[in-house]
Amino acid sequence: MALRWLKSLWRNDCGTALLEGAIVLPVFLLLVGGVYEFGYFFYQQQLLESGVRDASRYLAVTADPNSVTSQTGAMNLAVYGLINGSANPRVSGWSPADIAITVTALDNSSGLYCSGCPLKVITVSTRVADSSLGFLGLLGLKTPIISVSHQERWVGGSAPGRS
């Protein structure tokens, strides 16, 4: 009797879709959440790259890329998108203090480039911890660090609003 009942239970297909859905749904949600988290991570990385590139291009056309005023304006431009810095940051948790600016003078005494005029290379870089690791944080992953850098050659001139 019990054996016949087990055989009929084994052959019965009522509720199999519900059981299969209960097994597949957590895996599917984990996959969708992971894709969303990685997409948002790359979006933030792109925002950081755009800000650093804007800052280095701004410094490339200033009269003096070593001046504190120009570098402060470049840091504000990178983080806020405005030279005066009166907006929300492009990436949450990013501040001008996270930006490093170096101006390197290259030896051009041979006159190989630009008939011996001084050459300067401006490097703007930043490192920011991505604090948005919500869904994947459930897996115990460490907070990733986004590190970006951009270089421009100084061409001189006067950026808008600067002398």
Identify whether the C-beta of residue 47 lies closer than 8 Å to the C-beta of residue 141: no
Domain boundaries in the chain?
16-153
pLDDT of residue 21: 87
Per-residue pLDDT tens over the stretch 2-60: 788 777 767 777 777 888 889 999 999 888 888 888 888 899 999 999 999 999 999 99
Could you tell me which residue, 115 or 16, shows the higher pLDDT?
16
Residue 127 φ then ψ, to 5°: -135, 125
Residue 126 φ then ψ, to 5°: -155, 155
Half-sphere exposure (Cβ direction) of 19: Cα atoms closer than 13 Å: 5
Residue 14 φ then ψ, to 5°: -70, 130
Identify whether the C-beta of residue 123 lies closer than 8 Å to the C-beta of residue 113: no
pLDDT of residue 135: 66
Per-residue pLDDT tens over the stretch 77-105: 999 999 988 889 998 889 999 999 999 98
Query: What's the average model confidence in pLDDT over 104-124?
Result: 77
Give the span between the Cα atoms of 137 and 135, in whole angstroms. Answer: 5
